[in-house]
Amino acid sequence: MSCITRVNCLKCSVLVCFLLFFQVSRSQSWAALDQLVTERQGKLGKNAVVLVLKGDSIVYKKELGDFNSKTVAPIASCGKWLTAALVMQFVEEGKISLDDKVAKYLPVFEKYNKNYITIRHCLSHYTGIKNETVVGKVIGARRYKTLEEEVDAFAAREIRVNAGEDFSYGGIGLNIAARVLEVVSKKKFEQLAKQKLFTPLGMRKTSFAESDMMRATNPSEGAVSNADDYMHFLQMLLNKGIYQGKRILSEASIKQLRTIHSKPQDMKFVPKGAEGFDYALGAWVVEKNGTLGTALACPGLFGSWPMVDWCHGYAYLVITKSLLGEEKAELHLDIKKIIDGIYPSTCK
């Protein structure tokens, strides 16, 4: 055997050993994730689906209890991310600007001296309008028959501080922005979401339409979806606005959705489980590089947790139906550590 042949054989052997080691290491990491999910199912949700997507492929799937990836469930505030993406489509089309005053489209805001609230304020929870109490939200959901009625009531509500002065998380801003889309398009919000977002993304079981037709659509907290559907949306975000070769959002819009809009000193009201996180447009910032979120999450009240990590190149999703508690944020971050170990960061 020649020297060159022996060298080439040695190189091949080293490469094969490396690939085998990497494969075993990755298998052990997935096993660790499987063990964590199983052991802490009580915290995650008795009935839940866990998915991890890398590129365009599902690389991990765990179905617990009576849930599978096709089970439709209410996703509460996970819908904020969907609504923010829909708003960005209108921005791309030149129909609105993030810095447009809401009163330009909804004169009722000028009537109540709320002229300075912008669409950007709405997507980042900086409207300054007093949030409703839990009881008030329940009563309001029954009282308002249309999104227009609800948003008109927001316009008449007491203002705590001037727009842009502090961050107060809630359902007001996203619903105002959604009403702007209705006025601009002359279509109902749920029709817009289906036409411009859900149909192009193949999200056939996702909807903002209320099963009770006597209640107003809730673009902030009223969506239903399943794991298969919502992962299509996360896949689009991860792939910088492209889903299965179709451009859904521009890279510029994805960057806007990732840009941090909150300031630590402004955080007036933050849910317990999100304390310490910044906020972008429609989603919380889990990790960041300067003013750009490198990992975003948009958890919902019932425990669902969608997340995209652009540095590690994956999307992670849990769909469940159990009340979200602050301890669940810690659980999802523990899960994230395991996945991060499988897919090292490509960011500098």
What burial letters (b/e) apply to 106-124, b meaning 16+ CB within 10 Å?
bebbeebebeebbbbbbbb
Between CA 69 and CA 320 the distance in angstroms is 10
- CA 103 to chain CA centroid, Å, is 27
149: left (phi over 0), alpha (psi -120 to 50) or beta: alpha
Structure tokens at 31: 């096993």
Query: For the whole model, what pTM was predicted?
Result: 0.90
CA atoms within 13 Å, Cβ hemisphere of 199: 7
Q: What's 189-231 look like in SS3?
A: HHHHHHHHHHCCCCCCCCECCCCCCCCCCCCCCCEEECHHHHH
**Per-residue pLDDT tens for 251-288?**
999 999 999 999 999 999 999 889 899 999 999 999 99
Task: Report helix angle 326-342 to 3-39, nearest 10.
Answer: 170
**pLDDT at residue 348, rounded to an integer:** 81
Between CA 148 and CA 114 the distance in angstroms is 17
10 Å Cβ neighbour count for 344?
A: 9
Q: Which helix (H) or strand (E) holds 347?
A: none
- Asked if 307 contacts 316 with a C-beta cutoff of 8 angstroms, the reply is yes
Beta partners for 309? 295, 314
User: 243 CB contacts (<8 Å, ≥6 apart)?
Assistant: 200, 201, 202, 232, 235, 236
Q: Name the 3-class secondary structure at 27.
A: helix
Alpha-carbon dihedral angle through residues 123, 203, 52, 72, given to the nearest 10 degrees:
90
Maximum CA extent, the chain: 90
Q: Name the 3-class secondary structure at 346.
A: coil
Structure tokens at 132: 């409703």
Beta partners for 297? 284, 307
Between CA 46 and CA 271 the distance in angstroms is 23
Question: Which amino acid type is present at position 66?
Answer: D
10 Å Cβ neighbour count for 301?
A: 15
How many residues does this entry show for the chain?
A: 348
Between CA 71 and CA 280 the distance in angstroms is 29
Structure tokens at 178: 């959604």
**Per-residue pLDDT tens for 32-87?**
999 999 999 988 989 999 999 999 999 999 999 999 999 999 999 999 999 999 99
Q: Mean pLDDT for each consecutive 10-residue tract of the chain (348 residues)?
A: 49 44 60 93 92 96 95 96 98 98 98 96 97 57 86 95 96 98 97 98 94 82 97 98 98 98 95 91 98 97 95 97 75 96 93
Question: Which amino acid type is present at position 204?
Answer: R
Q: Name the 3-class secondary structure at 55.
A: coil
